[in-house]
Amino acid sequence: MKNLTIFFKFFLSIFFLANIIYSQENNILEKLGFDKDSKLLIIHNDDIGMSQSVNSASFDAFNEGHINSGSVMVPCPWFLEVIEYSKKNPNLDIGIHLTLTAEWKNYKWGGISSSDKIKSILDDKGHFYPEVSFVRKYAKYEDVKNELEAQINYSLSNGLIPTHLDTHMGAVRATPKTLQAYLEVGNKFRLPVQISEEYKSILDNKLIDFTKIDKSKILFVKKIYGKQDDSPINYEEWMKFYKNVLDDIKPGLNVLLVHVGYDNDELKAITVDHPHWGSKWRELDFKILESDEFKKRLRKRNIILVKWGQIKEVLYD
């Protein structure tokens, strides 16, 4: 009987928390000025600051209206060029692509923090590890939180006020503790964090310490889409994928992740031996986004484009 009572209380707590989140999702739609059946989409470009090629393509995509949001990798070599661009275009929707990995073969970076403060997320050469599995295995909560805060503070000190936070390669979601750090820094800096509905299980207090997090500020995205399968890297496959994405979008807030870049010598060298998210991959993303076919499909499906900046305003009003 005692076990049944405990289970019943746990079930009720999860039920009510889930209803809070559901109500909040509808409330966000209402606050943004849309009804509950509206299909909202953020076309979000990752990895800005990674290279000059990625920056050039990202700036062109912003300027031409192919994307309406993006995020910058603060530890990367071309971060400061993004700062210059953002100062000339202060109304752009740019967040921070919180970075704990460096996946390329001959092109590496480490953290913004002093290396002695983040030892568990650096390899023996002082670089971030190449894969999320290393973060999962070695990362300590304190080190992750130190580095996430350092990246946000470095962005702020250079004049870029981010609209939101998201994550490179999903590394901040590697463990409950890294996810804890992610949610905490979002609360601390009053920034929405990009997280999908599949992570609603974090409402279990056994996984996340909510004494340090305001649950009312966690907004779950209905669905996050992104090209990551093993299909041939060609225009026809790309167009088929993106058409299917637009056809699949349901009412609520959705995010389409893209990775634009130009297929030039710089990006080919950086992404050598790594065709996924390589130079050809990124130029194909750009070509799809600029195509009339994609834009017509977007309109046909009555999809409304919104920005993280709008969500930040209503979430932290």
Query: Helix/strand/coil (H, E, C) string of the chain?
Result: CHHHHHHHHHHHHHHHHHHHHHHHHHHHHHHCCCCCCCEEEEEEEEEECCCHHHHHHHHHHHHCCCCCEEEECCCCCCHHHHHHHHHHCCCCCEEEEECCECCCCCCCCCCCCCHHHCHHHECCCCCEECCHHHHHHHCCHHHHHHHHHHHHHHHHHCCCCCCCEEEHHHHHHCCHHHHHHHHHHHHHCCCCECCEHHHHHHHCCCCCCHHHCCHHHCCCECEEEECCCCCCCCHHHHHHHHHHHHHHCCCEEEEEEECCCCCCHHHHHHCCCCCCCCHHHHHHHHHHHHCHHHHHHHHHCCEEECCHHHHHHHHCC
CATH number at 167 reads 3.20.20.370
Q: Considering Cα of 261, then 263, then 264, then 268, what sign does the dihedral take?
A: positive
**Which pLDDT belongs to residue 24?**
55
**Which pLDDT belongs to residue 203?**
66
CA–CA dist 290, 108 (Å, integer): 31
Question: Is 185 within 8 Å of 145 (Cβ atoms)?
Answer: yes
Question: Is 193 within 8 Å of 164 (Cβ atoms)?
Answer: yes
Question: Is 160 within 8 Å of 86 (Cβ atoms)?
Answer: yes
**Which pLDDT belongs to residue 139?**
98
Burial 131-146 (b: 16+ CB within 10 A, else e): ebebbeeebbbebbbb
**Residue given tokens 């041939």 in the structure block:** 232
Question: Is 152 within 8 Å of 119 (Cβ atoms)?
Answer: no
Question: Is 287 within 8 Å of 275 (Cβ atoms)?
Answer: no
Which residues lie closer than 8 Å to 171 by C-beta, 6 or more apart? 98, 99, 100, 101, 132, 135, 178
Question: Is 123 within 8 Å of 293 (Cβ atoms)?
Answer: no
pLDDT tens by residue, the chain, 317 residues: 544 444 444 444 444 444 444 445 557 899 899 999 999 999 999 999 999 999 999 999 999 999 999 999 999 999 999 999 999 999 999 999 999 999 999 999 999 999 999 999 999 999 999 999 999 999 999 999 999 999 999 999 999 999 999 999 999 999 999 999 999 999 999 999 999 988 887 766 678 888 889 988 999 999 999 998 888 999 999 999 999 999 999 999 999 999 999 999 999 999 999 999 999 999 999 999 999 999 999 999 999 999 999 999 999 97
Q: In this structure, what token pair is assigned to residue 50?
A: 């990674």
**Which pLDDT belongs to residue 230?**
83
**Total structural domains in the chain?**
1
Domain of residue 43 covers: 2-315
